[in-house]
Amino acid sequence: MPMVDATPTSSIAGDRYLLLADISGYTAFLARVEHDHGVDFSAGIPAGYGVLGELLSGVVEGVQPEFEIAKLEGDAVFAVASAAALDGRGDEILARLHALYEAFRARRAFQAEFASDHVCNACPVVASLDLKVILHRGPAVRQTVGKSTEILGPAVNVAHRLLKNSVHAQLGFGPYVFLTDAAARGLLLTDTGVEHREDYSDVGSISGRVVQLGAGRAPGSGAEAIAG
């Protein structure tokens, strides 16, 4: 007799803003931690893991309350917001992301100086960690199965695909926000930042605007108007 999954499910569809805040340099950082500490953590968990936890916590706090946290994905925070709640609020959202990055830099500097364990008195390689943000807008489905909730749909796939991009190689930006055209239109930021396009074999061409975060923002990045 075939088994029937009795787990209750529910789905809610709608247009949403999809934000991914990714800590770049994470893989190399953990490789350095493993190199310094070895793979046996019996003497104690390396401070590097606590550092990453602190930085991710800061990102989670920084995107709220405008965005709801969907999940933590290793070195990235995936957050969502209804399109109706954010449409037309581009300057405000960009200002929040700039503030988020300044708070990230402050936490990173503190951790680099004071994080310590049985091997390291400080973690200077923390300074190699940085932040990039992807912001897309499109239809997505919130699907709940039992106590687990997922955000699904082609727009979600696009947002995640954009984490692997050529922004740094082509524009030279370190920390940045990549607003897709869909997000820029909804937020009324179509003249903000620098034009950029990514081409993928699976999701096609994705165009948008890139706004640099942090000190030394490029002229014409659109950040000047909200930096104060």
Q: Any bridge partners for residue 13, and if so which?
A: 141
Residue 127 has a pLDDT of 75
pLDDT (tens digit per residue) in 73-102: 988 999 999 999 999 999 999 999 999 999
Ranking 144-158, 168-182, 206-220 by mean pLDDT, the lowest is 206-220
pLDDT of 227 > 70? The answer is no
CA nearest 160: which of 168, 173, 169, 151? 151
- Amino acid sitting at position 113: E
The residues near 74 (Cβ < 8 Å, ≥ 6 apart) are: 26
Higher pLDDT, 170 or 125: 170
pLDDT of 1 > 50? The answer is no
Residue-range domains of the chain with CATH: 9-226 (3.30.70.1230)
